[in-house]
Structure 1
Amino acid sequence: MHTTKNFKPIMLAIWASLLLAVIVAFGLARWSLAFVTLATLALSLVPPTLASRWSLTLPVPFLLATTLFFFASIFLGEAFDFYERLWWWDLALHGFSAIGFGLIGFLFVFMLFEGDRFAAPPSAIAFVTFCVAMTIGAIWEIFEFGMDQIFGLNMQKSGLLDTMGDLMINAVGSLIASVTGYLYLVRNAAGLLGRGLAQFIDLNKRLYQKSKNRLKK
């Protein structure tokens, strides 16, 4: 089983590259590029930092996926204007993020039941997974609206059409995540995404086992 320790050199190389890009951008007085790169680096450090604080072990694919997502959305999207160059860039990122947040929502809800598959109907857990992903997507749209109104940015692009398109893509991604969670509970398998769930649960078994002491009380 690969853990974060096995791939620590890879993650350090990615972070070192971003840090070097920040230094070069500052040296060339490319302030906006420096800010975007620094933001990408900071956000990519959030998952492992929170995992360390909460004593979680993150699967390598999760770390790589989050780092690449921040790189694609902030660094490529904003610094290199991929949102304007590629019409599907924003939609793809919204879809992938919805799936990701949905899977995280499933893991959190399943953790509340301490890994007990019979504590709640799989359909109910899947529904909560869908709601978590959609809620996060809606909050992001509110954030985009606020940034546009307060700071005069253009995060919503075409306004209502962009917002509704993002929400529909979020719904599709959320549905994929909820179906994945449902199949994992019912069949203990759900393809590649299901294996990701199983890997996280296996690496953090203490969070998904019924506490014997609690049952005795």
Structure 2
Amino acid sequence: MSQAMGMEIREHKSSFAVYVVLRMLVLAMAILQFFNGNYENVFLCILTLLLLLAPAFIQVQFRIELPSVLEVIVLVFAFSAEILGEISSFYEIFPFWDTVLHTMNGFLAAAIGFSLVDLLNRSDRVKFELSPLYLAIVSFCFSMTIGVIWEFFEFGMDQLFGFDMQKDAIVHSISSVMLDPTHTNHAIHISDITQVTVNGQNLDLGGYLDIGLIDTMEDLIVNFIGAVVFSVFGFLYVKNRGKKDSIISRFVPHRKSADRDYLRLVIDGGKATDVDSADEAAASAGSANTISAVTAKP
């Protein structure tokens, strides 16, 4: 497996160059974080190294070919989310960073869902066929499901371990039925909020602290946008397949050809080596028997 993955990583020069550069940056960051005593960040670096291997593992294990453009995007996405976003605090420095990544996630997840169904659609071993419209719908639903599951994960980490993955936001107005003194489910609106006091301490935030809701909804909205964009392009791609080259083909995996199935090549190479070794051993044994027979002849 490791030999096949090595061959896979080196297959495309562009993605291999990106992989090498990002891997070196992650290793440098891991060393720096280790000497600074930030062991949680060291773990994130190790996780990122594993994520950088994910495209090669998927291609080898499932015998599918990822276009180099898609592979590069996946590598950059993993690096941007973990190393730049979490460790280098890009989520705080650039407010749009999280939004951009969630939009990319919606697009990539839709591409994955689309590809899985499209591969089944074109398989000779599986009786499965969806029209371009239903293929696009499945792609969209797959992406949104991934987005929702990720928000579940963020919520769980915040609740169980006290993290802040669902980032807070500052708002200047709220509406809540909890403020209704009559308890008749009537929303009370408070506007022009400029400060919040907790246990007698002014937080000096310039507004009200919204805990996670706005971040979650913004993430799902941009995930929705990314999913819709790819689903539309995916629909057009299948509808016009074979008529002309489409830019979306650079994001759609396909089954590997026999000469690029590196796992099979490695296995067959090992078998060939075993057969050659057995033949050599048999030949050596035959030669030894011949020599013995000649020696024993009176």
User: Match of 2:96, as an amino acid?
Assistant: W
SS of aligned partner of 2:79: helix
Aligned residue number for residue 42 of structure 2: 34
- 2:119, 2:16 → 1: CA distance? 30
User: Match of 1:5, as an amino acid?
Assistant: E
- Asked if structure 1 preserves the Cα contact closer than 8 Å seen for 2:67 and 2:251, the reply is no
- 2:16, 2:218 → 1: CA distance? 39
- 1:9, 1:27 → 2: CA distance? 29
Aligned residue number for residue 98 of structure 2: 90
| Identical residues among aligned pairs (%) | 34
Structure 2: gaps of 5 or more residues: 1-8, 169-211, 259-298
Aligned residue number for residue 145 of structure 2: 135
With normalisation by structure 1, the TM-score equals 0.82
- 1:27, 1:49 → 2: CA distance? 31
- Asked if structure 2 preserves the Cα contact closer than 8 Å seen for 1:4 and 1:58, the reply is no
**Residues 1-217 of structure 1: matches in 2 within 5 Å?**
5-7=11-13, 9-10=16-17, 11-114=19-122, 119-158=129-168, 159-188=212-241, 192=247, 194-197=248-251, 200-201=253-254, 204=256
User: Match of 1:6, as an amino acid?
Assistant: H
Structure 1 residues 89 and 113: alpha-carbon distance in aligned structure 2, compared to 1, 3 A threshold: same
User: Match of 1:128, as an amino acid?
Assistant: V
Over the aligned positions, Cα root-mean-square deviation in angstroms equals: 2.4
Q: Point out the structure with max Rg over C-alpha.
A: 2
With normalisation by structure 2, the TM-score equals 0.61
Question: Following TM superposition, by how much is the alpha carbon of 1:133 offset from its aligned partner in structure 2, in angstroms?
Answer: 0.4
Aligned residue number for residue 211 of structure 1: none
Count, aligned residues: 200
Question: Following TM superposition, by how much is the alpha carbon of 1:145 offset from its aligned partner in structure 2, in angstroms?
Answer: 0.3
Where is the helix percentage greater, Structure 1 or Structure 2? Answer: 1
Question: Following TM superposition, by how much is the alpha carbon of 1:190 offset from its aligned partner in structure 2, in angstroms?
Answer: 8.1
Deviations 1:78-122 (A, max 9, x none): 111111111111111000111011011111111111169x93321
Structure 1: gaps of 5 or more residues: 207-217
SS of aligned partner of 1:119: coil
